[in-house]
Amino acid sequence: MKFISHVALLAAAGRLIVRADEQVVLTSSEEQMLAPMNVAIIGAGAAGSSTAYHLARFATAADIAVNITVFDRNDYIGGRSTTVYAYNDSQYPVELGASIFVKVNTILTDAVAEFNLTTSGMISRTDDIPGADIGVWDGQNFVVEQNSGSLTWWDTTKFLWRYGLAPARTMNLMKSTTGKFFKMYEEPFFPFVSLTKTVRDLDLLSATSATGEEYLAINNIGSAFGHDIIQASTRVNYAQNLKYINGLLSMVCMATDGAVAVEGGNWQIFDHMVSAVNAHRVLDTPVSDIKSDHDGSYTLNFQRTSTEGRTQSLTQSFDAVVIAGPYQYANITLAQGIDHTPKKIKYVTLHVTLLTSPHLLSPAFFALQPGKAVPKTVLTTLSPDEAPQAGPAGVGRPGFFSISLLSPVPNPKTGGQDYLYKIFSPEAPDSTFLSSLLGLPKGSEAESPISEQDISWIYRKIWHSYPYEIPRTEFDHIQLHDDLWYTGGMESFISTMETNALMGKNVAKLIVDQKMDKLRMKRESYATDLPLVLASGAT
């Protein structure tokens, strides 16, 4: 009796093997089933960290043991969510990459709550500084100035007069378009094995396959509002003009109500996600190869650099591997014979420049009267006579995508007040540009360095920030091969911290579901032997 219930128990767990002498033992293949599933996640950004976090949770719920290892070539968790410090002083954190998310981004906001992080809005810190909160500059004039305190454009009477129904129609279109996207979080859409199919099933193809310009026209949104407001938003968020970015992204860019950032840095969300589930962190470690083994597992090759600077090449085997970052920049050699190799897609090269200066932005630079304050956030659009272009040339006459005065900061050396700025541009801003922007007297040489009195701290970073979000109907595969996964296809659908975190969660669910399916199949193949086993056990 005892024996039979033991057998039943093991059979239920899919781990039954019975020898002729009627003792239940585990063979080596069964030991593997008891051993945890070893999963490697390559990339500790939003996608990889979310994969780790959700994989642990889904696995626990399904009673599957997992052992998660997260690799990153950076020495920090967060990827494109990363923080640097003005004057290199930890009191003054500033986002170098992804800076904002919104309330409806539930993976991020749930994590913020779970990890007791604090968020804050964007504009409050500059209240005492003169100037409108936001202005849209076309390289010659400010076409719009707003004191809304945030990027909400819908409800002002000024706008009604100027743009008629376009703001209200944009809001409705934004809500209906992004509303379809939010279905991806729930059954029957979640988890999704094909982004291409899901986009079609969600009826989002009309948005992804049209340019922003076309999508607005189809939906009766006047071109003036598109040009002045929506394009300012697509340029600051994706460095792209409406004629080239797709309709879906043009709407995503308008969904900025309630934008917040984590105090101290958004990367903390992802760092906590990895810690919360005790995933192994293997940082400062590029993975160079993924080889497939005969038994269906994968061997990773990775390089660790010792404190003495010696590079050591190591290998480790995993049952499943997730590539959680853009494949084309991963510098990984993939095993031969993989079902799907991710395609190369064009990414924006974005120059982010952070700097502190005691100077406010120069009115002269923006062709304003002397003494007139420049808006604290300057977004850009094109001049009316300027043809929109694709790629870096799309920046047009303004020469930059955005300049924001983030906050006042006390200069640690002089004790005086500085301002902290962030500039997005397709090229590195040179001394001539910066001098003119800050209203400094012209130096004798064009490229003479600016003195520390005028720019007290500067930090430059070049990102492959996000794809050129051109109209498309097909998105990269999520499953590249059996037990080999890829999150990066999400980026040519929507590239944000939240969406990439959603893709990580999706991959986590698919891994657990497939593992369950495999266990079930094994169990069924044992179950066919069960009557025989029980019969012999009963003798």
Residues contributing to the site for ligand FAD (CB under 6 A): 42-48, 71-74, 79-81, 97-101, 286-287, 324-325, 330-332, 350, 352, 463, 465-466, 487, 495-498, 500
- Answer whether 492's CB lies under 8 Å from 99's CB: no
24-63: contacts with ligand NAG (CB under 6 A)? 36, 38
- Answer whether 398's CB lies under 8 Å from 380's CB: yes
- Quote the least distance from Cβ 423 to ligand FAD, whole Å: 11
Residue among 115, 182, 459, 463 that touches ligand NAG (CB under 6 A)? 115
Residue with smaller CB distance to ligand NAG, 40 or 497: 40
Size of the site for ligand NAG (CB under 6 A): 10
Query: Which entry of ligand FAD, ligand NAG, none binds 335, CB below 5 to 8 A by partner kind?
Result: none
Residue with smaller CB distance to ligand FAD, 14 or 325: 325
Q: Is 35 left (phi over 0), alpha (psi -120 to 50) or beta?
A: beta
Residue among 162, 180, 183, 280 that touches ligand NAG (CB under 6 A)? 280
Query: Which entry of ligand NAG, ligand FAD, none binds 279, CB below 5 to 8 A by partner kind?
Result: none
Q: Residue 450, Cβ neighbours under 10 Å: how many?
A: 17
Q: Give the 3-state DSSP-derived string for 144-210, with helices as H, strands as E and coil as C.
A: EEECCCCCCCCCCHHHHHHHCCHHHHHHHHHHHHHHHHHHHHCCCCCCCCCHHHHHHHCCCHHHHCC
Contact between 69 and ligand NAG (CB under 6 A)? yes
Residue among 28, 116, 157, 306 that touches ligand NAG (CB under 6 A)? 116
Query: Which entry of ligand FAD, ligand NAG, none binds 256, CB below 5 to 8 A by partner kind?
Result: none
Strand blocks (E) in 332-449: 333-334, 347-357, 377-380, 402-410, 417-425
Residue among 288, 349, 389, 432 that touches ligand NAG (CB under 6 A)? 288
Separation between Cα atoms, residue 208 and residue 488, nearest integer Å: 17
Token pair for 58 = 């889904």
- Quote the least distance from Cβ 232 to ligand NAG, whole Å: 34
- Quote the least distance from Cβ 334 to ligand NAG, whole Å: 12
Q: Which of 226, 122, 238 lies closest to 174 in space, CA to CA?
A: 226
Q: Which residues pair with 38 in a beta bridge?
A: 67
Q: How many helices (H) and strands (E) does the chain have?
A: 16, 21
Residue with smaller CB distance to ligand NAG, 194 or 288: 288
Query: Which entry of ligand NAG, ligand FAD, none binds 299, CB below 5 to 8 A by partner kind?
Result: none
Residue among 27, 29, 60, 88 that touches ligand NAG (CB under 6 A)? 88
List phi, psi (to 5°) of 339: -60, -45
List phi, psi (to 5°) of 335: -55, 150
Residues that bind ligand NAG (CB under 6 A): 36, 38, 67, 69, 88, 115-116, 280, 288, 331
